[in-house]
Structure 1
Amino acid sequence: MPSQIQSTLSVYSLLDPDVQRRTSILFLDYKLVSEGYPFPTQLHQLDDTYNKLLEEGNQNIILMGDSAGGHLSVAYTIYLRSLAKEVVYPSQLLLISPWVKLSPLPFDAQEGTSWHENEHRDLITYRRFSSIFDLKHIIGFQDPFSLLCSPGGKTPRTRDDWSSIPNFSDPNYDVFLIFGEDESFRDDIVQWASYSLNYPQSKEYGAFAKSKDEAKYSFSRRGEAGNANLTAYVEPMGVHDAMLYFEHDIVKTIERALRRGQKLTVKDIDSTKFFGIARLTEFLNSTIRKC
């Protein structure tokens, strides 16, 4: 989608100059399920590209994925662990509204859940995503509850599934996670992150919020043994993939500044209007500088 590319390039444009000079972007134009290529086709395409980058001498590789791309980024770390050889894991995962639970079950749509609460707020709906017919097209005849196909749907859910993957258990690795308060995936993401990343669970979002405590909208942990560094944000009243679909118009402001010979940084933009772009840029400024 053009908006996704515009938002991503806007983050790059807003990076501090020294960080920007050390950063490059590669977009993986993987084959789509909707065009007849079920998972794990995309995983193998990512693996081919990742290995080529390593062969070229690249070591500090960051995986960024939104929605299905978020699932692909997480699934790739599971795939790397399964290989009977020494592997290089990505240094960071940037997960934007990751689709971690492949298909919601009937109890997921009961009153009091994000699937129920946000049915008429989000572009992701239970009726559409609970289709067994569509599930067959996505993964064929693979186990829909396997960790690889559905990281958030696998049962039983245990921390052991993630403790041997450094992206989730080693403080030398970083994860950036962002999702919306009003998106249907919200509860799935929170539950998955609670055992994969030791992210604190909360149900006080949207209509169920009992307080205006801002702490529940952000979480940061660094340098803790047994856990990857985690920077997480819940966008107030945000919907699925809002950062990439609804913040891309910042590119106009950036272009106007460039025509004037001015380079904008994250300090020059409205961090409320451009909630995700501002926070991801700040995160990259902080973490890439340390690499």
Structure 2
Amino acid sequence: MRRVQADAVLNRPLALSDARAAVLQHMLRTAGVTALFDDDGDFWSGAPLWNEGGIAVIGIGGMLIAGKLGWGYPYVTGYGDIAERLEEALNDQSVQAIVLYIDSPGGMVSGLFDVADRIYQARSIKPIVAILADEAYSAAYALASSAQTITVPRTGGTGSIGVLMLHTDISRMLDEAGINVTVFRYGEHKAEMLEVEPLTDGAKTRTQEVIDRLGEMFIQLVARNRNLDPQKIRDMKAETFLGEDGVKLGLADAVMSPDAALLDLQANLN
């Protein structure tokens, strides 16, 4: 059984919707830190790639994770798998246009901006559109914004343009269990995010500075991709927006069902 370990999301910057972050927190409380996902269910190998009459459709679903997973869709998708499928579609002479078919609450920041930049660059080679099956929040929205156009279902969502980090402090639980952990360090700031001891004020400040820098990188990326004023995006305060509301704010271009969006693209190509 393959597992995505909890350390893939703890103490790491995440571009994830608030709702999914709350789910992760609950899973950690109830299941501990053994795993967040397993692969007992049916799934595709990596990010799937379909060819629909000259249109390459790249599936992007579930939690977005750094690297190449080679498994897990639609529950987990690796940025490396997305990048690989993108290059395949770009190099396929039979492909006239590329669709990012997205239904994801977001995921890890690590690896995100590189893939988003590649999508943005690639849209000068072939038309690239993002068709939301339902939601594209946070990291998933960063990918969607890199396409030339975005369609969202009327009950789907966009936004959550922000960054967060989760840290678990189990020091009090260890104290109550009579367990004392001694940490030896070379370097004052070495391993200052350990869960076995409370965070220092300095660690909190330094971590927030990193989150702020990554958040601003996210703002600038979306501003470039969607030709929006960065301050307008900051003023959204990482809020999520339903269907038409996202279109009004410039986060998407049209409210359409996935099927209608694909038919519209096919008609434009023909």
- Whether TM exceeds 0.5 here: the answer is no
Larger Rg: 2
Q: Which has the higher helix share?
A: 1
Return the structure number with greater strand share: 2
Higher relative contact order, chain-length normalized (CA < 8 Å, sep 6+)? 1
What's the TM-score, normalizing by structure 2?
Answer: 0.35
